[in-house]
């Protein structure tokens, strides 16, 4: 699974992307957030307040219950501020 980070999540975690292989019990975005938060203190800090984090699965916005699978591209970022 490819995971991308943008804006302050990228800065806090210290990388723009990583390849991961979460265990099979990680089935959705919320589960992936819980698993990622345990990877390092930086991950824990980035995901400390899940309300400030949005996600996309395969380049479409996705809520916490959206399923994730091994070959997905999952991105995490703050609420968008373009325009």
Partner 1 sequence: MARVLVQEAAFDLAAETAALTAGRTDVGGVASFLGVCRADDGLSAMVLEHYPGMTERAIERIAAEAEARWPLTGCTVIHRTGRILPGEPIVLVLTASAHRAAALDSCAFLIDWLKTKAPFWKREEFASGAHRWVEARAEDDAAAARWAGAGGA
Going residue by residue from 19 to 58, which x/- string records binding to partner 1, judged by CB under 8 A? -------------------------------------x--
The residue among 25 and 64 lying less far from partner 1, judged by its C-beta, is 64
Q: What is the distance in angstroms between the CA of the first residue and the CA of the last residue of the chain?
A: 30
The residue among 48 and 80 lying less far from partner 1, judged by its C-beta, is 80
| 2 beta partners | 19, 73
What is the CB neighbour count within 10 angstroms for residue 75? 21
Distance CA 35, CA 74 (A): 13
Q: Which residues bind partner 1 (CB under 8 A)?
A: 4, 6-8, 56, 59-61, 75, 77-83
């Amino acid at each position: 699974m490819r995971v991308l980070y943008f804006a302050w999540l990228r800065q806090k975690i210290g990388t723009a992307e990583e390849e991961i292989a979460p265990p099979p019990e990680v089935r959705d975005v919320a589960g992936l957030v819980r698993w990622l938060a345990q990877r390092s203190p930086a991950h824990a800090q980035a995901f400390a307040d899940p309300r400030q984090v949005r996600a996309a699965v395969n380049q479409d916005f996705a809520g916490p219950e959206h399923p994730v699978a091994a070959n997905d591209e999952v991105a995490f970022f703050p609420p968008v501020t373009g325009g």
